[in-house]
Amino acid sequence: MYSALRSLIFKLDPELSHNLAIKSLKFNYSPVKNIIIDSSIETNFFGKKINNPIGIAAGFDKNAEVYNPLYKLGFGFVEVGTVTPKKQYGNPKPRVFRLEEDEALINRLGFNNSGSDAIGSRINSYPPNGVLGINIGPNMSTTNKLEDYLICLRKFHKLCDYLTINISSPNTENLRNFHNKSELDQLLKIIQEEKKILKSNILIALKISPDIEEKNISNISELLLKYEVDIIIISNSTDQNRNNLKNINKLEKGGLSGKPLEKKSNILINKFYKVLSNRVKIIGVGGVDSGRSAYEKIINGATLVQLYTGMVYKGPNIARNISEELINILKSEGIKNISEAIGIKN
């Protein structure tokens, strides 16, 4: 059904299409099949059982408007945001571009969101029906990025299962400087200290760039362990490697997501898994649009996977379809549960 609709949807501006998708989910207009329950893909999320390891990545439900309908679409967990302390418009439009031939998107949205007060109030009023993550970041106009992260930590630590510290968007000036060892050390230190002050057990995830240098892998891994970070998300969009793309939008400024990121993400997942040895859980992101692409991330070391661009191209039943494909893959490989496949490629 979606394949027939896609040609019509793709005639619309990408950001308008996205806004319509959010509205349709709010009013339950989206075509949904039943959620698949199968023991082979059931996943343990830090003590909570979820139906599958497939999550929707931050960027889709920026303002935490449709997280509960997304569980109904078959996602095992949902991450909303990126949320900043204050409401902000983001970058000027147009700021989202489809690259159809490449099954990719380029965006330079710039953390457009309703702000932490409005989003916190919404989540408090509508408790999540599943595992919820909130992705947080600093305002563009801030003079103190560290304090912005702390504001969001204070606001959200009781409202979700995990908080993602986003240091990797290519669309916020100097944000990726937090990949430098000294700056990341300072950030993770104040997060840990604030958690102690709040007496909070909130899980902390760190979302990194796929464009890091080799030396960053050991430095980041060392700090993840030092400050007892629970999850690393690999990875955000890339602002590199456009030469092999086909679509005329390939040189638009912004972060590239989707299939062109898949191999790069998988390599990075594999490298971090070898260093971390499952002491920090990995969520794999980048090019997930099928059971096979999800499985590749898992065998490289990811415990969970996320997608966003894949749903743009494959439609709202993508989580169910991936679940079905994963069940068949596991059966053919003689694997009883998806957890047994984590890192077996290493």
Residue pLDDT, tens place only, 55-66 = 999 999 999 999
Q: How confident is the model at residue 30 (pLDDT cuts 50, 70, 90)?
A: low
Q: Stretch 259-286: mean pLDDT, rounded?
A: 97
pLDDT tens, residue by residue, 206-243: 999 999 999 999 999 999 999 999 999 999 999 887 98
Helical axes 145-156 vs 116-125, angle rounded to 10°:
20
Q: pLDDT (tens digit, 9 = 90+) per residue, 284-342?
A: 999 999 999 999 999 999 999 999 999 999 999 999 999 999 999 999 999 999 999 99
pLDDT of residue 56: 98
What's the pTM value of the predicted model, to 2 decimals? 0.97
> What is the average pLDDT across 187-197?
98
30 is an active site residue: no
Taking residue 114's Cβ as centre, other Cβ atoms within 10 Å add up to: 19
pLDDT of 28 reads: 75
Place of tokens 């379809």: 321
E-assigned strand segments in 93-150 = 96-99, 104-107, 131-136
Give domain 2-341's CATH architecture: Alpha-Beta Barrel (3.20)
Give me the pLDDT at residue 212, please.
Answer: 95
Q: Tell me what the mean pLDDT of segment 148-176 comes to.
A: 96
d(CA 85, CA 71): 26
What pLDDT is stored for residue 5 in this prediction?
A: 82
What pLDDT, on the 0 to 100 scale, is given for residue 2?
Answer: 76
Ordered by start, the domain boundaries in the chain are 2-341
Asked if 126 and 168 touch (Cβ cutoff 8 Å), the reply is: no
Tell me what pLDDT residue 1 has: 67
Q: What's the whole-number mean pLDDT along residues 148-177?
A: 96
Contact indicator for 291, 331 with CB cutoff of 8 Å: no
State how beta strands 162-166 and 96-99 pair.
unpaired
User: Among 5, 38, 35, 33, which Cα is nearest to 21's?
Assistant: 5
CB 305 within 8 A of CB 43: no
**Is residue 29 over pLDDT 70?**
no
Measured in residues, the chain has a length of 346
Point out the catalytic residue in the list 169, 221, 235, 237.
169
